[in-house]
Structures are given as C-alpha cells and as structure tokens.
Amino acid sequence: MALNGTPSAQQVFHPGANVTIELVDDGGMLRNYSSIIQDFTDNEMSLCAPVERMVPVRVQQGREITVYRAIDQTAYASQVCVLRHKSGDPPILVTTAPVSVECQPRRRFFRVDVEIPYNSILGPGTIVNASGNGLLLVSSKDCFKPGRHFDIQFKLPTCEQETRVRVKVMREFKRGSRYLAGVVMLNLNPKMQDELIKFLLARQRELVQMGLLFSEHSEIER
C-alpha cells in the first residue's frame, strides 16, 4: 500500500501495522526488534514489547526509541518516548503517540552492527552501527554536540578506497566511559552509498548465519 504525499502519523502507525522498534541497549548498541501496533490514541501508542530469545526486553521509562514502518520502497520513522510496560500475552510497551513522520528510501533504512575505525578532526573512534545514510559513532572523548558538522574518514573492508564524508550529529549520549553519536551522512556520493549498502547486506547475512542476528528482525533485501 503506497501512501501519497506526506502521510500523518495516524496513517502510518495505525493498529495492526507491522513495525520495527529501534533502541539503544545498555551497552550503547543500536538494536532492532519486530513489533505490531496494538493501539493508537491522541496521547499514547501501544506496541508488542520487543522480545529477544523469547524474553521481553525491558526498556527504561523515559527512554527515547524510534519506530519504523516500511511500505513499498519507503521507510517511515518517528521518535517516541517510553511511558510504561504492561504485562499480558503479549506484553505491551506503551509510548507517547508519534507526532510526525520522517520519510527515507527503504534501502537506507536497515541497520547493521559493524566495527569500522574512523578518523576525524575530533579524534579517532569506531563506527559500531551503520545504515545506508546513518552511522553510530563511538569515541573515548566527550566531543559530540547535536547539530555539529564535521568530516570523517573510514575504509570499508570490501573497498580499497577510503571514504570521506561530512556528517551531522543528530543525537548524542553516554554509555559507561564511551561517548556515542547518531549521525547522518550529508554528502555520500551514490557510488560509495551503493558500496556501503552492499557491504551492510553481506554483513547482515553473515550475522544471521552466525546466529547473532535473528532473520525475522532483519530488513534483508533480495
């Protein structure tokens, strides 16, 4: 089902819709979980709680998460805040109601855990999660500020050529002694973006085969 124009949050995240919950775990890693929307009101949204190895994942009250829904070739995303958990079968995660949605091509949507060193004017660090247009950066220094622009350089294991790209910090947080930033890539050329997506797809399949990623939680494109 295609949605014409810019859809409302109610159109995208209606009860019964299959969605993906993206959250940062206690170790600072981005995780994706499949879910289904149970209810949507003016103030709240209820979803099936994320589950890992048959056990519900507890998400702290007040934590911000992102909910995605992929329709045809477009992924719709909205950030919400966790309000509470409700026991039951299935267990329910209650969040604030999405207010607006962000649209992006679906092939940029899926995220994969990686470990790629990078360098920047802020110092060296590691890319620990990547999608077709976004990265999760880790640094040992408190150097990330929301809205800040800077260049990073990194090399994909599948490419001889180093990639240099300008990024914008969308959010920053700390986990233990590590400082993390979710960034969007601003000027990644189409050729390098294709190389990145090919690498991420191969990495995602590798993780599934190793049993480190459940295929039903993946957005593997065929």
Instruction: State pLDDT tens for residues 79-110.
Output: 899 999 998 888 999 999 998 888 876 656 67
Q: What is the mean pLDDT of the chain?
A: 83
CATH 2.30.110.10 domain range(s) in the chain: 9-108
> Which amino acid type is present at position 215?
S
Predicted confidence (pLDDT) per residue in 139-198, tens digit:
999 999 988 999 999 999 888 889 999 999 988 888 888 999 989 898 888 888 888 888
pLDDT of residue 31: 75
| 211: Cβ contacts below 8 Å, ≥ 6 apart | none
The correct answer on CATH 2.40.10.220 for the domain covering 112-217 is yes
| Mean pLDDT of the region 58-66 | 86
**3 state SS of 68:** strand
> Which amino acid type is present at position 106?
R
Classify residue 90 as exposed, middle or buried by CB count within 10 Å of its CB (0-12, 13-18, 19+).
middle
Predicted confidence (pLDDT) per residue in 15-55, tens digit:
999 898 887 766 666 677 889 999 999 899 999 998 877 78
CATH 2.40.10.220 domain range(s) in the chain: 112-217
78 vs 10: CA distance, rounded Å: 11
Q: Is residue 4 left, alpha or beta, with left meaning phi > 0 and alpha meaning psi from -120 to 50?
A: beta
The CATH architecture annotation of domain 9-108 reads Roll (2.30)
| Mean pLDDT of the region 201-208 | 78
pLDDT of residue 96: 96
**3 state SS of 164:** strand
Cis amide leading into 15 (omega within 30): no
